[in-house]
Amino acid sequence: MTEQEKLHDSAEYKKMRSQQLYCFEAPELMGSIIRANQICAKLSTMTFNSPEYRKIIEELIPGLPKTSAIVPPFHCDHGHGVVIGEHTFINYDCIMLDGGEIKIGAHCKIGPRCQFFTPQHPIDYEERMQPVETCYPIKIGDNCWLGGGVTVCPGVTIGDRCIIAAGSVVVRDIPSDCMAAGNPAVVKKMLK
């Protein structure tokens, strides 16, 4: 059994991916985070055009389409929780905390310094002192444009063909064909 198969078979991994409270200090999860940190560190010494860039980014994010690109530096917790569609471009300094899956559709433009956070820490302060959290997946539809510095919070879905203005903090779902802005982001107008 490979390390990846052992990870996917572990109880804490299954809890993490199924929106249950899990221990983020579990050895198999820490191993996955360390691996991703090491790969992200390698990427931070490269440019998008470095000869070894494609091999390294595909090692971090399995299944990344050849038509899609992530410009380093890039940071994530695991990498294997990130799913990106065809012809999607992710600009500099993106952070994806992918304990929960982060799915970004096809033909998307993600501005510099965008952040995608799936972990949610417990509300109760005593429980929060423990190494536990729950992760809620994020989904971005096809043909979306997120301006620079957008933050997408746990469990948010952004529909197809949306524009999210630079600096917005998205805490609730945004329906398809909308332009949203602000903190918290609200729909400012329909695009169709």
pLDDT in tens, 7-47: 878 999 999 999 999 999 999 999 999 999 999 999 999 99
Q: What are the Cα distances from residue 163, in Å, to 104, 170, 190?
A: 14, 12, 10
Say what the pLDDT of residue 188 is: 97
Structural domain tally of the chain?
A: 1
Mean pLDDT of 81-107: 98
Cβ neighbours, 10 Å, residue 168: 24
Within the chain, what is the greatest distance between any pair of CA atoms? 51
Structural domain including 28 reads 3-190
- Report the phi/psi class of residue 167: left, alpha or beta, with left for phi > 0 and alpha for psi in -120 to 50: left
Say what the pLDDT of residue 5 is: 77
Q: Please give the Cα distance from 49 to 7 (Å, whole number).
A: 32
Q: Which helix (H) or strand (E) holds 58?
A: helix 53-60
**121 catalytic, yes or no?**
yes
Annotated active-site residue in 8, 75, 87, 121: 121
Residue with tokens 């982001």: 185
Q: Judging by beta carbons within 10 Å of its beta carbon (0-12, 13-18, 19+), is residue 169 exposed, middle or buried? A: middle
* pTM of the predicted structure, to 2 decimals: 0.96
Q: How confident is the model at residue 6 (pLDDT cuts 50, 70, 90)?
A: confident
The C-alpha torsion from 94 through 20 and 16 to 105, rounded to 10°, is -50
CATH code at 70?
Answer: 2.160.10.10
Residue with tokens 């602000």: 182
Closest CA to 168 of 144, 154, 155, 187: 187
Inform me whether the pLDDT recorded for 129 exceeds 80: yes
pLDDT in tens, 67-85: 999 999 999 999 999 999 9
DSSP tally for the chain: helices H, then strands E: 5, 19
